[in-house]
């Protein structure tokens, strides 16, 4: 008999960044604010948000809710890149500096994955004149959804 037995499923192909981006297009909020998934796979994700004046708070910094979005979204995509749909159960955000920059980057990484939860961490950076400055850190618990 061959290596694959009758009734075995064909091996799943590993999703590409383009596969993840196509899935991301279904989410309306990231599109509304101009966020783009720039990396996703193997427990890592990166989301970029260009600065727009309407995304700022009253002092002209990136609004804290959007700093949280970048951390949460990067963690969720990092977790989702391991295979399957996920939702955020909780996240803790520590803002370290004002969000002043031309663009902002959220980078998320899986720390530990189990059947019931995926623990992630994220760093959020402001980019000004090509230099990255760490403006926030976050920890998140992401829950896999049953397919």
Give residue-wise pLDDT tens across range 70-124: 999 999 999 999 978 899 999 999 999 999 999 999 999 999 999 999 999 999 9
CB 138: neighbour CB atoms within 10 A?
23
Can you give the pTM of this predicted structure?
Answer: 0.86
The CA–CA distances, whole Å, from 108 to 2, 4, 13 equal 41, 36, 23
Domain 17-144: which topology? Thiol Ester Dehydrase; Chain A (3.10.129)
Cα–Cα distance measured from residue 43 to residue 29, given in angstroms and rounded to the nearest whole number: 23
Please give the share of the chain, as a percent, with pLDDT higher than 70. Answer: 82
Structure tokens at 65: 């809710």
């Amino acid at each position: 008999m061959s290596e694959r037995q009758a009734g075995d499923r064909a091996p799943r192909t590993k999703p590409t960044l383009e596969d993840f981006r196509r899935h991301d297009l279904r989410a309306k909020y990231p599109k509304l604010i101009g966020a783009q998934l720039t990396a996703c796979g193997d427990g890592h994700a990166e989301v970029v948000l260009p600065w727009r004046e309407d995304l700022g708070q009253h002092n002209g910094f990136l609004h804290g809710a959007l700093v949280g979005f970048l951390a949460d979204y990067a963690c969720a995509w990092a977790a989702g890149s391991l295979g399957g749909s996920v939702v955020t159960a909780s996240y803790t955000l520590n803002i370290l500096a004002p969000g002043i920059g031309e663009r902002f980057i959220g980078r998320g990484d899986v720390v530990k994955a189990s059947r019931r939860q995926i623990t992630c961490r994220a760093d959020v950076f402001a980019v000004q004149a090509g230099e990255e400055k760490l403006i926030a850190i976050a920890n998140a618990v992401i829950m896999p959804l049953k397919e």
